[in-house]
Structure 1
Amino acid sequence: MAGKIKKGALVRVVREKLENSLEATASDTRFPSYLFESKGEIVDMNDEYALLRFYTPTPNVWLRIDQLELVE
């Protein structure tokens, strides 16, 4: 599914993939609920990461593409 993810797509963060990741061990593991309960829009991408904008008053965040799933 990650092959279909592109700039402008609406995605949701997969809790299991984020919580068990190397990135999660490098910072606070108490993730805010909006990451998993709301949609984010991809505003930029590179080979491995996507910059997500959530429609809440929070900063954009970079996450690995394999930690995301498309929202239909």
Structure 2
Amino acid sequence: MAVKKGEMVRAIREKLENSVEAKASDTRFPAYLFETKGEVVDIKGDYALVMFGQVPTPNIWLRLDQIESF
């Protein structure tokens, strides 16, 4: 099932840790990506912009296959 704008999601650890994006940057991902709700605020192509509002952090672009409904 496709993720939609406004939906609450979280990152899938296994897909994010083994991704090309992870290998290109710091692989020490914060726990809130996997444990708290994030809201999809925009979708472009294969990526979703996710806002994690429970903690003061910037929005993050994640591939659609790296997130799941929460």
Which range, TM-score by smaller chain?
Answer: over 0.9
The residue number in structure 2 matching 1:19 is: 17
Q: CA RMSD in A?
A: 0.6
SS in 1 for 2:14: helix
Q: Distance in 1 between matches of 2:45 and 2:27?
A: 25
* TM-score, structure 1 normalization: 0.92
* TM-score, structure 2 normalization: 0.95
SS in 1 for 2:68: strand
The residue number in structure 2 matching 1:70 is: 69
Q: Distance in 1 between matches of 2:29 and 2:39?
A: 18
Q: Calculate percent identity across the aligned residue pairs.
A: 65
1:19-71 CA-partner distances (Å, limit 9, x unpaired): 01000000000000100110100001111000000011000000000001011
Equivalenced residues, count: 69
The residue number in structure 2 matching 1:10 is: 8
